[in-house]
C-alpha cells in the first residue's frame, strides 16, 4: 500500500515536471521574435488565389521582400481550419465574417480582418424540389449545415416571406454529403453553397428560390489575422495584402496570363475553367484595394455586422453564457465599436488595403 | 524466487492502480486548462472543470433555448434507440446466418464467400448509396450499424461453429438428432458465449457508425450534438458528451460481460482471476 502511495506521488511529480517543461517550451517559442507565419485556407472560389499565389511564387516574393517566411496550408475541412486557427495552430485563416465572429472572436481570440476579398453574390442558395417560390418552403424539412452561413441565409430569406424558423424543420447535414442527400426522395429542400449548389440546382425539378444575391454584402469572405500577431508584425499584414492584390490582378487579367491563372485555380479547387468561372460570376470579387477598402470603411458594414451578430446571438452562437449581443465588441472603420468597447474581439482594419491602394507596399 | 508476473495487487491497491491513470489524465487536463485560461480568459478549447460541470447541469436539467427540450436526455434516447435497433438486428442476423454458414456445408458454400466479401466493404464509403436507397431518416442510420457490424458477427460465429469438435456432431447424430436439433441443442448453446463476446467487441464500431451517421444528416442524437456545436468550438459540450458516450458503452460492455458469465459459467472456468 505504502509503496503504491509513493509511486503515486512520484508519478504526480513527474507529470508536474513534464507539463512545466511543456509550458516553458511553449513560452520560449512565443517569446522569440517571430519570422515564420502560418496561414490556413480551404477550398472556396473566393479563396483560391491563396494556393495559386503560393504555387506561383508570389507568396515567397512578398515574404522575402519583408524578410519573413509565410506558409500557406490547405485544410480539408472548413470548420476545422477555423478551429485550428482559434486553438493557436495558425496565425491567419480564410473565413466568412459570420464564422470569424462565432468561432475565434467568441472564443476570445482577438482577430483582425485585413483583406475584404469578396462577398457571396449567389454562391449560397435555397433550392426546393417541391415548390417554385420561397413561400412554398413552409412546413418542409430542410437539409442544411445548421448554424452556418446557410442557416443565416435561410433566416434572412424566411423573413422576406414573413415566415419564422418554427414554420420549417431543419436537419443538420454535412456539406460533403448534401448533394447525395438531395438525391434521396426524403429530401425536398436544401440550403447550401458552391460548388454543391451548382450540383443541387441541376437536379431535375429543382428550383432555386432564394440566393445570396438578394442580401448583397452580408456573406463576406475575409482573410483574418490574430490582432496581437499583426500588431507585433505589421510587415506580415503588408506582405499578405501585397500577395493578395498581385494575385487577383492576375486572376482578373483578360489575356493568356489571366486565363492560365484561373485555370490553375480551377484545378486546385477540383473543377475546370468553365466551372470555376461560373462560380466567379456569383462571387462579387473586390479586385482593387480601393473598392475593397471603401466597402470595409463604408457605412454598410456596421449595419451588416449588426444583422449578423443578432442572428448569432439568437442562435446561441456566441456561447450559452453570453447574455446580450453586445457582449463581443466589433470594431469597424466607419462605425466605431459595435457592442462592448471593453471586449473588442473582431476588428475590420482597412489600413493595409488603403496602403496597397496608395501603392505604398 | 519472486517474479514480476507473480506479484498480484490486493483488492485495495488494485483499485488505486486502476484509478491512477485516470487521475493523471485529469490532472494534466486541469493544468492545461488553467494554462490556456491564463493566456486567454475566453478560451474554449480546454474549459475548466467548473465550467464543464455547469454545462452538464444545463444540458441535463434545463430546457434548451432553441428546441425547448432537455437536450442530453433527448439525444441519448434517440441515439440508444438507433444503437439497440442496429446492434439487435445485427446480432440476430449474425446468429442465424453464422449458425447456418458454420453448420450447413451448402449454406457455407453459398453464403460464405459473399459474407467474406461484404465484410470487406468499408460501410462509410457507401454512405451516399445508403442515403439514396434507405433515405435520410432513422432507417439509414440503423442500416449503417447493421452493415458495419453484422458481417463480422456472422463470420465470427461461423468460425466458432466450425471449431466445435466433429465428434460431438457425429455422436449427436448417432443418438438420432436431426439437423435442427443439432443446431439448437448442440451448436447454439456452445457458441452463445462467443456471440456475446463478439457483440461486446462490436460495441465500439457500432458507436462509431452511429456517430458518423448522426454527424452526416440528423436532427437529434449524441453525434448530431457533437458535430453541431463543433461549429463554434463548444468543447464544454463536446467533452462531456464524449465522456457520456464512453460511460454508456463501458456500462454496456460490463453488462454483457456479466451476462455471459452468469448465463454460461462453464465457458469461463479457465479464466484467470
Q: Give the CA angle between residues A85, A88, A92 to the nearest 5°.
A: 40
ipTM of the complex: 0.74
Picking from B13, B55, B217, the nearest residue to A171 by CB comes out as: B217
The answer to whether the CB atoms of B136 and A184 lie below 8 A apart is yes
Q: Which domain holds residue A192?
A: 124-214
A245 and A349 belong to one structural domain: yes
The kind and range of the H/E element at A330 are strand A329-332
The answer to whether the CB atoms of A171 and B218 lie below 8 A apart is yes
Q: Is A17's pLDDT higher than 90?
A: no
Q: Is A64 within a domain?
A: yes
A183 at B interface, C-beta within 8 A:
yes
Q: Is A4 within a domain?
A: no
Relative orientation angle of helices B11-39 and B49-61, to the nearest 10 degrees: 100
Using the 3D structure, point to which of A156, A188, A214 is the last residue of a domain. A214
Distances (CA, A) of B11 to A11, A92, B5, B15, B269: 21, 53, 17, 6, 21
A255 and A180 belong to one structural domain: no
Q: Is A3 within a domain?
A: no
Q: Exposed, middle or buried: residue A89 (CB in 10 Å: 0-12, 13-18, 19+)? A: middle
A237 and A336 belong to one structural domain: yes
Percent over 70 (pLDDT), chain B: 99
A333 and A189 belong to one structural domain: no
B220 at A interface, C-beta within 8 A:
no
Average pLDDT across chain A, whole number: 89
For residue A142, the domain's CATH number is: 3.40.190.10
Give the start-end residues of each E strand in A121-265: 124-128, 141-144, 169-173, 189-193, 207-211, 220-226
Percent over 70 (pLDDT), chain A: 91
Picking from A108, A173, A320, the nearest residue to B217 by CB comes out as: A173
Name residues whose C-beta falls within 8 Å of residue B62's C-beta, 6 or more positions apart in sequence.
B70
Percent over 90 (pLDDT), chain A: 73
Enumerate the β-bridge partners of residue A226.
Answer: A111
- Are the C-beta atoms of residues B224 and B214 closer than 8 Å to each other? yes
pLDDT tens digit string along A163-195? 998 899 999 998 888 988 898 888 899 999 988
A234 and A325 belong to one structural domain: yes
A150 and A133 belong to one structural domain: yes
Q: Is A29's pLDDT higher than 80?
A: no
Report residue A25's pLDDT band, with 50, 70 and 90 as the boundaries: very low
Q: Is A10 within a domain?
A: no
SS3 for A81?
helix
Between these two residues, A316 and A328, which has the higher pLDDT value? A328
Name residues whose C-beta falls within 8 Å of residue B104's C-beta, 6 or more positions apart in sequence.
B179
Interface with chain A: mutation pick from B42, B66, B225, B236, highest number of A CBs within 10 Å: B42
A340 at B interface, C-beta within 8 A:
no
Q: Is A80 within a domain?
A: yes
A97 and A229 belong to one structural domain: yes
Phi and psi based region of residue B74 (left: phi greater than 0; alpha: psi -120 to 50; beta: remaining): alpha
A349 and A228 belong to one structural domain: yes
SS3 for A345?
strand
Backbone angles phi, psi at A53, to 5 degrees: -60, -40
The answer to whether the CB atoms of B24 and A316 lie below 8 A apart is no
pLDDT tens digit string along A290-308? 999 999 999 999 999 999 9
pLDDT tens digit string along A120-149? 999 999 999 988 999 999 999 999 999 999
A92 and A167 belong to one structural domain: no
Q: Give the CA angle between residues B241, B242, B244 to the nearest 5°.
A: 60
Domains of chain B: 51-268 (1.10.3720.10)
Q: Is A22 within a domain?
A: no
How many Å apart are CA A291 and CA A305, to the nearest integer? Answer: 19
3-state helix, strand, coil in chain B (%, to 5): 80, 0, 20
- Chain A 296-325, CB below 8 Å of chain B: which residues? 315-317, 319-320
The answer to whether the CB atoms of B31 and A19 lie below 8 A apart is yes
SS3 for A84?
helix
Q: Is A13 within a domain?
A: no
Would strands A283-285 and A124-128 be described as parallel, antiparallel, or unpaired?
A: unpaired
pLDDT tens digit string along A31-50? 457 899 999 999 999 999 99
The answer to whether the CB atoms of A177 and B216 lie below 8 A apart is yes
Using the 3D structure, point to which of A161, A194, A214 is the last residue of a domain. A214
Enumerate the β-bridge partners of residue A69.
Answer: A36
Per-position DSSP letters for B218-239, written without gaps between them: ESSSHHHHHHHHGGGT-HHHHH
Enumerate the β-bridge partners of residue A330.
Answer: A338, A346
A208 and A324 belong to one structural domain: no
Residues of chain A neighbouring B44 (CB-CB closer than 8 A):
86, 106-108, 319
Q: Is A1 within a domain?
A: no
Per-residue cell: A11: 508519478
Between these two residues, A6 and A155, which has the higher pLDDT value? A155
Backbone angles phi, psi at B51, to 5 degrees: -70, -40
In this prediction, residue A290 carries a pLDDT of 95
Q: Is A4's pLDDT higher than 80?
A: no
Residues of chain B neighbouring A345 (CB-CB closer than 8 A):
42
- Are the C-beta atoms of residues B127 and A180 closer than 8 Å to each other? yes
A49 and A154 belong to one structural domain: no
A136 and A263 belong to one structural domain: no
Using the 3D structure, point to which of A184, A199, A214 is the last residue of a domain. A214
How many Å apart are CA B147 and CA B212, to the nearest integer? Answer: 13
pLDDT tens digit string along B237-270? 999 999 999 999 999 999 999 999 999 999 998 8
Residues of chain B neighbouring A23 (CB-CB closer than 8 A):
35
Q: Is A24's pLDDT higher than 50?
A: no
* Domains: count for chain A: 2
Amino acid at each position: 500500500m505504502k509503496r503504491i502511495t509513493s509511486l503515486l506521488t512520484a508519478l504526480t511529480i513527474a507529470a508536474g515536471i513534464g507539463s512545466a517543461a511543456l509550458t516553458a517550451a511553449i513560452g520560449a517559442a512565443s517569446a522569440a521574435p517571430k519570422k515564420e507565419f502560418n496561414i490556413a485556407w480551404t477550398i472556396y472560389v473566393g479563396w483560391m488565389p491563396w494556393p495559386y499565389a503560393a504555387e506561383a511564387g508570389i507568396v515567397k516574393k512578398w515574404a522575402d521582400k519583408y524578410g519573413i517566411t509565410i506558409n500557406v496550408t490547405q485544410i480539408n475541412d472548413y470548420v476545422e481550419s477555423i478551429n485550428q486557427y482559434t486553438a493557436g495552430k495558425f496565425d491567419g485563416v480564410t473565413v466568412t465574417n459570420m464564422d470569424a465572429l462565432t468561432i475565434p472572436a467568441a472564443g476570445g481570440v482577438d482577430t483582425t480582418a485585413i483583406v475584404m476579398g469578396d462577398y457571396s453574390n449567389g454562391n449560397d442558395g435555397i433550392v426546393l424540389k417541391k415548390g417554385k417560390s420561397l413561400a412554398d418552403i413552409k412546413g418542409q424539412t430542410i437539409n442544411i449545415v445548421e448554424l452556418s452561413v446557410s442557416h443565416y441565409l435561410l433566416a434572412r430569406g424566411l423573413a422576406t416571406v414573413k415566415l419564422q424558423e418554427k414554420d420549417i424543420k431543419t436537419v443538420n447535414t454535412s456539406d460533403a454529403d448534401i448533394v447525395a442527400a438531395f438525391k434521396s426522395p426524403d429530401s425536398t429542400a436544401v440550403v447550401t453553397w458552391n460548388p454543391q449548389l451548382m450540383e443541387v440546382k441541376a437536379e431535375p425539378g429543382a428550383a432555386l428560390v432564394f440566393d445570396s444575391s438578394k442580401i448583397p454584402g452580408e456573406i463576406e469572405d475575409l482573410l483574418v489575422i490574430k490582432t496581437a500577431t499583426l500588431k507585433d508584425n505589421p510587415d506580415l499584414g503588408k506582405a499578405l495584402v501585397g500577395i493578395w492584390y498581385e494575385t487577383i490582378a492576375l486572376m482578373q487579367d483578360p489575356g493568356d496570363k489571366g486565363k492560365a491563372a484561373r485555370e490553375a485555380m480551377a484545378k486546385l479547387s477540383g473543377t475546370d475553367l468553365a466551372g470555376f468561372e461560373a462560380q466567379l460570376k456569383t462571387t462579387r470579387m473586390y479586385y482593387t484595394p480601393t473598392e475593397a477598402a471603401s466597402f470595409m470603411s463604408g457605412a454598410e458594414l456596421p449595419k451588416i455586422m449588426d444583422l449578423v451578430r443578432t442572428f448569432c446571438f439568437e442562435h446561441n452562437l456566441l456561447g450559452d453564457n453570453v447574455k446580450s449581443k453586445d457582449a463581443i465588441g466589433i470594431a469597424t472603420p466607419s462605425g466605431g465599436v459595435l457592442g462592448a468597447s471593453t471586449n473588442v474581439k473582431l476588428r475590420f482594419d482597412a489600413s493595409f488595403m488603403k496602403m496597397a491602394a496608395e501603392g505604398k507596399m | 524466487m519472486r517474479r514480476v508476473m507473480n506479484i498480484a495487487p490486493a483488492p485495495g491497491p488494485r483499485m488505486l492502480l486502476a484509478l491512477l491513470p485516470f487521475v493523471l489524465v485529469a490532472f494534466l487536463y486541469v493544468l492545461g486548462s488553467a494554462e490556456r485560461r491564463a493566456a486567454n480568459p475566453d478560451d474554449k478549447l480546454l474549459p475548466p472543470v467548473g465550467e464543464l460541470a455547469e454545462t452538464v447541469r444545463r444540458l441535463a436539467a434545463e430546457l434548451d433555448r432553441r428546441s425547448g427540450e432537455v437536450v442530453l436526455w433527448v439525444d441519448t434516447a434517440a441515439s440508444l434507440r438507433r444503437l439497440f435497433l442496429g446492434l439487435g438486428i445485427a446480432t440476430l442476423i449474425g446468429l442465424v446466418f453464422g449458425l447456418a454458414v458454420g453448420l450447413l456445408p451448402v449454406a457455407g458454400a453459398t453464403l460464405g464467400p459473399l459474407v467474406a466479401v461484404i465484410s470487406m466493404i468499408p460501410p462509410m464509403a457507401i454512405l451516399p448509396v445508403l442515403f439514396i436507397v434507405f433515405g435520410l431518416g432513422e432507417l439509414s442510420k440503423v442500416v449503417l450499424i447493421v452493415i458495419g457490424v453484422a458481417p463480422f458477427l456472422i463470420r465470427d460465429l461461423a468460425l466458432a461453429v466450425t471449431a466445435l469438435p466433429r465428434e460431438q456432431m457425429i455422436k449427436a447424430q448417432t443418438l438420432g438428432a436431426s439437423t435442427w436439433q443439432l443446431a439448437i441443442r448442440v451448436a447454439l448453446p456452445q457458441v452463445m458465449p462467443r456471440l456475446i463476446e463478439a457483440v461486446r467487441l462490436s460495441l465500439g464500431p457500432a458507436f462509431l457508425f452511429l456517430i458518423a451517421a448522426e454527424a452526416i444528416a440528423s436532427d437529434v442524437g449524441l453525434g448530431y450534438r457533437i458535430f453541431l456545436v463543433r461549429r463554434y468550438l463548444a468543447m464544454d459540450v463536446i467533452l462531456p458528451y464524449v465522456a457520456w458516450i464512453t460511460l454508456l458503452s463501458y456500462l454496456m460492455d460490463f453488462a454483457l460481460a456479466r451476462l455471459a458469465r452468469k448465463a454460461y459459467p462453464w465457458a469461463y472456468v479457465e479464466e484467470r482471476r
